[in-house]
Every structure is written in structure tokens, then in C-alpha cells.
Structure 1
Amino acid sequence: MRKTSFLLLGCLLLFAGTFAQTGRLKVGLETGFGVASLRGSSAYNDLVTARPSTYQGIYASWALNDRWFLRTGAGFSLNGAKQRNSVTFTDPNGVPNGTYQAYTNLPYLNVPLLAGVSFGPSKRLYAVAGPYVGFLLSAHDTYDGHEATDTKRLYEHTDFGVMGGLGVELPLHKRFGFTIEIRDQLGLTNISKPASGAGYPPLKNNAAHLIIGVNYKF
């Protein structure tokens, strides 16, 4: 994951250097927290609920004019779900030795292509929307962090969906800005492999994050 982050950052810096003289480019870092869940059959939805989620990413935006812009980048999003009921473990003799909360952990590298528009006083408010592709990095079921079961074979390697956000950008300096954004991710494709043999229904990703960021305008 660290190598991927440095590679993506290097690509963005190269892009920034190429267009630095135009005055239309912004490059930023962002981080946030929120909730994630999986959508499936009604029976599956009765068994799971939302889990805590985190987000970290880098992005570049290109101003088309004083209102409209395009944005792309890459972000690490922890998706998945939490089981509604706790799981009880037993020793070899069948004696209970602990009750734990079970989580499905699906970290993704998401790459969006978003169109944005600025509005409001001084055009500090903005909205973004567009498609994304997500690449599954790993998959584990954990029990309050005590045990982990590798489940990557049960899931497709890619996810496609749409993303949308509403935020505000505040100037920190002539070239620096600070952003606060509420962003929603809606998966549109089935991420569960039909031939996994685990009896999983079709599953789709959901996530919502409160994200803060800083950017630099070239």
C-alpha cells in the first residue's frame, strides 16, 4: 500500500509540474472518517449493519472556468460491514471462552473522475459527482481484532459505482486552501463472486465520509 501511495503521489506531482504555469491546477491531500456498509438481499441486510470507516487520499482538480472544474485522484477507503449479533468462540471442549463483534474488512483503492461546480458567496461552496473504479486491496473477517480470516477469494477484484459530495473551501493563504466535505459512495456492481461457494448473495458497497483536506493552487 505504501509503494502504491508513493507512486500515485509521484504521478500527481508530475502532472502538477506539467501544468504548473496555467494557474488552473490544484493538488491536495485529504483524510476523513465515516461509516461503510454492504447492500445485499433482505435476509443478508438483517444480519449486518454499518461499520466505522476511514478515508485517506490525494487529488488533483482542473478549473475549466471560474465555476466548473474536473477532479481525479486516488483514495484508500475501508469498506465492509459489521454483524448485528456477536460471535461466541468455544474451546475444544465446547466451553465458551469469549464473545466478539465480527467485522468484514474490505479496503479499496478508489479512483474517481468527478465533475464539480462552485457556488454561493465567493463561490466557496461546491458540489462534485461522477463515477469511480475501486480496486480491492485485501479482504478479512475479524473478531474485535483478535482473529483474521482471509476472504479475498470471495470478492471481485474491482468495484464500479458513483460518488457525490458537498463541501466548502476556505482560503488559508494566496495559494493554500482548506476543505470540508461530506462525500457519499454508492457501489453499482456486485462485488461478491457468484462461484465463491460461500453462499453470499450479490453485494454492493456503500460508504459515507466526512472529509477534511488541504490543497495548493499552482
Structure 2
Amino acid sequence: MLSKVSNRFLAVTILAIFVIALVGIILNKSLENAKITSTEIQKTAQTQTQEVAKVDNLKGYLQVMVVDSKTGTPVEGANVVFSNLDQLYTTGKDGKTQVIPMNIKSTGDGGITSQPYEEVVIGVFKQGYADYLLFNAKVRPTTQDKPQLKVIRIVKASTAYASPVFAMEKYSSDMAKEVMNKMKAKLNSLANSAQEIEEIEISE
């Protein structure tokens, strides 16, 4: 009788040890998976932070050229100011300012209008000409040896109190080309679809 009880106790003890060991293995695997997931999340966050920092550290180099709207000749001595800079720039004999560095910001995710750029207002002032303001001027990432050139055409004023000229830059040439390419692709897609429909109708 005692022997049967001892055997049962031993069996129960072995079973309990086995269950405890199994639970321990499962818990260890869960902890390892949690650690891996946590590490992956940290790596992803670091990568995203680095990518954002890389974009935010971009530089754009801009040069403004001021010309007479009627003759197209360069205007020397025009004062140029920017909404994001606390410095005055003046055009030389060629109508150009010096090359001006600007910080470029990230503007969002993925679409045509979410490319990195800095949006500024440019003011041009010259005696004998109407004051000029260009809104939504987009400065894109460039190198110092190949600055982005913005040509501004100012209008001669008949009086010192002539009405100012307000202009808006909706798209840069690069962005306009990208929009145009997308629109052409859409046109081709629609044209092909229309042709397929027409062929189906004819075959019937």
C-alpha cells in the first residue's frame, strides 16, 4: 500500500516538474519574442528619425535674377528680401543676387506636393519700379555650384506711388514636369481604355 502511494506521489511530482519546465520554456520564448519585437521597433524608429533628420538637414541654394519686364535687361541695384531670412541682398550688373543658402524642410509623405522644399516670399524693391512680391516661391535642394535660379520681371512705375505687383508661384518647373508626366500617363491610360471599349463594341 505504501509503495503504491509513493509511486503515485513520485508520478505527480514528475508531472508537476514537467509542467513547470514547460511553462518556463513558453515564458522564455515569449520574452525573447518581446525583446526581438522591441529591438525591431527601436531600429525602425531610429531609421525613421535618421531619414527625417537627413531631409531636414538638406540645403537649397537660391539665386534671384531681376530683369526689366518690358526689355528683359538686367536691373542693377534692386533690393531683394526673403520672408525667412534677416538679410538684405542687392543685384549686381548682371541683375543677379549672390548665391543664397537656405535650410530645406520635410513637407510630408509621398505625394507630388510632399517633396522637400522651403516655401518663401520674395520681395523686390527698386526706385523707378513698382514694388514686387512673389508668394509661394519654392526653394528645392540644390548644390552651391548649381543654384536654383528665379527670374523676376519687375515693371517700371510712372509714379513713386504705383500699385505693387503681386505674383504667386504655384509650381516649380520640376514639379510642373512631374505633374505633366502623371497627367500624360493618365491620358494614355484613359485613351487605351476607350479604345478597348470601342473594339469590344465593334466586335459585338
Task: Give the TM-score, by structure 2 length.
Answer: 0.29
Structure with greater helix percent: 2
**TM-score (structure 1 length as normaliser):** 0.28
| Higher RCO, Cα 8 Å, sep 6+ | 1
Please state which structure has a larger fraction of its residues in strand.
1
